[in-house]
Amino acid sequence: MLGGVFHAAVLFLAAAGLQLVFGVQKILNLACGSFYALGAYFGVSLVTWALGAGVPPSLFLGVLILGGVLLAVIGPPVERLLRTISDRDESFQLLLTFALVLMFEDVIRFLWGTAPHQLGSVYLLYGQLKVGALTIPVYNLVVIAAGATIAAAVGWLLTRTRFGRLVRAAAENPRMAEALGIDLARLYSRVFTLGVALGTVGGALVIPATAAVNEMGIELIVEAFAVVVIGGLGSMRGAFAGALIVGVLKAVAIATYPEVEMLAIYVIVIAVLVLRPAGLFARAAA
């Protein structure tokens, strides 16, 4: 169960980036998976470097989050590129963002090679929690807490701040928003960068528990899309609920009937598509 929630926390961050960008800019950004993979690789390098430079190991979580945020600098240029096709057919967006996925894969291969990269021992630095016969790494709980905190923070940002009001206005009616004096180009750039940061921070956060492998981005996109279909495209609450459903369902399937691990998720996806084609939270856009 907890394993499922851990998985859900990571899935949420990646799917949230996808949702935010789609909700506001109507760009279906497949490259969200690449940002996740880049965050993971960059996180490994940054923490390895930081530990070598004498940063106390217990601060590695801070280093990882910082790395994820720093890496979001790739957001504006990528957004600038995507803007060139923002008013074209959706298939162009899919093609271009998929091309980005392939290019980022090559970038990773060029910079980090093909062998898996990982952080050896920091995973257990925060200890393990024993609950009856169960042993839970505290770091898993940290990631779950971080996912929940980020979800709350993004929710607050979108509903309670001036930036959030502008974002929602632009999502609702971009022409009107522009007419009222909102600098759409700047807003889009910021929103996209926030979306990138959700992905890169997600990748950086998960890396102590796993290893960075080149295909992790594509793997995640597939599941993120299941999340998005279940939750409803463009909805933040949908991303949250969808990630929880996918993560927990997978865990339950593995614990009870492992053969249907993948099938279970797609059965739900199909059910949602048939019964509620717009997803569970389609109306609560951005």
Partner 1 sequence: MATTRRNFLRLLGGASAALAARLDGPPAFAQAGPVKIGVLAAKAGVTAPVGESGLRGTQFAVDRINAAGGILGRRIELVVEEESNPKDTVERFRKLALQTRVDVITGVVSTGVGLAIGPVAEELKTLWLAWDATTQKGVEETMPKPRYSFRSVDNEAEAVMASILTAKHFKGKIKTVAGINNDYSYGRDNWAAFLAIMKKLGMGVTPVVDLWPKLGETNFTSHVAALGQARPDLIFCSFWSGDAPILMKQAHAAGLTATIRFVMTTAGGVHESLKKAFTPEGMILGYNSMYFEAPNASPLLREFVRWHQERFKEWPNYESDHAYFTLAAYRAAVEKAARAAGGKWPSPDQIIEALEGMEVESLSGKRSYRADHIMECSFFQGLSTYRNKHDFVTVDPLEVMSTRQIQKPSGLGLYEWINSWKA
Q: Which is nearer to partner 1, 91 or 114 (CB)?
A: 114
Q: Which is nearer to partner 1, 47 or 82 (CB)?
A: 47
Output the smallest distance, CB 197 to partner 1, in A: 21
Output the smallest distance, CB 278 to partner 1, in A: 29
Would you state the structure tokens that stand for residue 177, as one six-digit string?
């928003």
User: Is-contact 54 224, C-beta < 8 A?
Assistant: no
Q: Which is nearer to partner 1, 69 or 254 (CB)?
A: 254
Q: Which is nearer to partner 1, 137 or 232 (CB)?
A: 137
- For 219-284, give the DSSP string: HHHHHHHHHHHHH-TTBHHHHHHHHHHHHHHHHHHHHH-GGGHHHHHHHHHHHHHHH-TT-TTTTS
Residue carrying structure tokens 């910082």: 66
User: Is-contact 221 33, C-beta < 8 A?
Assistant: yes
**Around Cβ 246, how many Cβ atoms within 10 Å?**
27
Q: How far apart are CA 56 and CA 52, in angstroms?
A: 10
Output the smallest distance, CB 54 to partner 1, in A: 19
Q: Which is nearer to partner 1, 70 or 107 (CB)?
A: 107
Q: Which is nearer to partner 1, 103 or 153 (CB)?
A: 103
Q: Which is nearer to partner 1, 36 or 192 (CB)?
A: 36
Output the smallest distance, CB 212 to partner 1, in A: 8
Output the smallest distance, CB 102 to partner 1, in A: 8
Output the smallest distance, CB 251 to partner 1, in A: 4
**CA of 4: how far to CAs of 7, 92, 124, 130, 135, in Å?**
5, 35, 19, 18, 15
Residues that bind partner 1 (CB under 8 A): 1-4, 6-7, 10, 105, 109-116, 118, 120-121, 123-124, 128, 130, 133-137, 139-140, 206, 209-211, 213-216, 219, 250-251, 254-255, 258-259, 261-262
Triad 66, 68, 71: Cα angle to 5°:
105
* 161 CB-near residues (< 8 Å, 6+ apart): none
Output the smallest distance, CB 243 to partner 1, in A: 13
Q: How far apart are CA 214 and CA 109, in angstroms?
A: 7
